[in-house]
Structure 1
Amino acid sequence: MRYADCAAADGRLLAALRHCGRRPGVAAAARTLSRTGEHGALWLAAGLAGAAADRERRGPWLRATAVVGAAHLASLGLKWTLRRPRPGPVPSTLGRPRSVPSILRRPGMGPSPAPPALRRPAVPDTAPERPAARADASPEARGAGPARLGPLVPTAGPYSFPSSHATSAAAAAVAYGALYPAGETAVAALAAAMCVSRLVAGVHYPTDVAAGIALGGLAARLGAPRTTAGRPRPRRRAAR
């Protein structure tokens, strides 16, 4: 698969998920998750809360929190190094491609013609003039092209690769899940929801989120303490 095909699939998946944000409930959830995950605030607060509640393993909890913060900072460094622009507004309607996909096109076939139903009839020279569009009319009626859906939330920077929200969420899911196995599933579900929220909000491409998940998981595996690292040592029995 060529790079152009991967980029096109990246944009189509983004547009499909951004359209899910047209539902008020989905949009509200995406905004809440995006705002609480800004700068890794939710995950850093969760790590500090774990350190305060679990005094016997305060050290491992603090180290895990530091790993989440370091992973977030690493994602910011990559963003400003790679400088991939954030996605722009997506079309308000999801249409099907009118041409034959490149993978099905034979050599020398050339661009595929539009189906007969989609061909525009010739306009006569004496075509009647169109009435002027109202000021409150839709963009299509005013001749401004199809309406587009912008992002649901503001962003802290102009670059998108990798997603810092996804990086800190994945790092927290791995590091905190190792320290608190009983809540591992809940933490992973919340982290996954936060990753998807960035796509629904229209501020990241799917490849941004995938790269952030990989970076956060790798950072947590390399730097987070293991599950048994912070367990209190058993007390030795006094010699009789």
Structure 2
Amino acid sequence: MAAEPTTTTPGASSAAEREFIPGTEEPMPEVTTETLVLRKVQGALAKPPVVKAARAMSLFGEHAAGWLAIGAVGALVDRKRRGEWVAAAAGVAFAHGASIGVKRVVRRSRPGDPQVKVLVGTPSKLSFPSSHATSTTTAAVLYGGLLGKRLTPALVPPMMVSRMVLGVHYPSDVLAGSALGGAVALGVRRFTRRRRNRG
């Protein structure tokens, strides 16, 4: 009697064929397009001088502290527009808080691919969206408006890339963070203009 043919689902793998993270029983994470992009970014850019700069940017942007400090300095120096600087700094703080709120809802884990090196510590394991990209975009738009300079092209892309160089965010994390930061900045601008027109 002939044996019955075995059917397999395309793309399925048996337990014996699965790859596990070395030293653990955790299965290897799925290699997505974003993971491949992250590998390429690190492979091309994660050289010692770039990593050093990226770590400095990470420290500056942690909890939006650097951007809030700049807002405070602006409020102290530019007395005529102190209220606008305070509103801008508040917008940066709100943007950071909003990104944390979204992270807690989405709960996406940070990159776990064994070929992606994590080159900096993070306050949480949540990845989406990037709080650094969020607060940096808000600060660039609002502070740039107050200074009469286009800061966004100079500040936002480097911060976004730095988060991938350090291996702590996927491309969609930094893109979503920047979009959120831009939306908050536009909202703060509208609020400030309405308040100025009323006053």
Normalization by structure 1: what TM-score? 0.64
CA distance in 2, matches of 1:47, 1:20: 34
Q: What SS class does the counterpart of residue 151 from structure 1 fall into?
A: coil
Greater Cα shift, 11-20 or 60-69: 11-20
CA distance in 2, matches of 1:213, 1:46: 19
| CA distance 1:36–1:221, shift in 2 (3 Å) | same
| CA distance 1:42–1:227, shift in 2 (3 Å) | farther
1:2-41 deviation per Cα after TM superposition (whole angstroms, max 9, x unaligned): xxxxx82211111111223531111111111111110001
> 1:205 corresponds to which residue?
170
CA distance in 2, matches of 1:230, 1:42: 27
Q: What SS class does the counterpart of residue 168 from structure 2 fall into?
A: coil
Number of equivalent positions: 167
> 1:133 corresponds to which residue?
none
| CA distance 1:228–1:152, shift in 2 (3 Å) | same
Gaps of 5+ in 1: 1-6, 92-148, 234-240
Identity value in percent: 46
> 1:44 corresponds to which residue?
68
| Greater relative contact order (CA < 8 Å, ≥ 6 in sequence) | 1
Whether contact under 8 Å (2:67, 2:135) holds in the other structure is yes
2:123 counterpart of 1:156: yes
2:40 counterpart of 1:16: yes
> 1:3 corresponds to which residue?
none
Between Structure 1 and Structure 2, the one with more helix by share is 2
Gaps of 5+ in 2: 1-30
4+ runs deviating over 4 angstroms: 225-231
Pairing partner for 1:87 from 111, 124, 129: 111
| CA distance 1:55–1:204, shift in 2 (3 Å) | same
State the Cα RMSD in Å: 2.2
| CA distance 1:199–1:227, shift in 2 (3 Å) | farther
> 1:74 corresponds to which residue?
98
Q: What SS class does the counterpart of residue 184 from structure 1 fall into?
A: coil
CA distance in 2, matches of 1:227, 1:48: 20
2:21 counterpart of 1:54: no
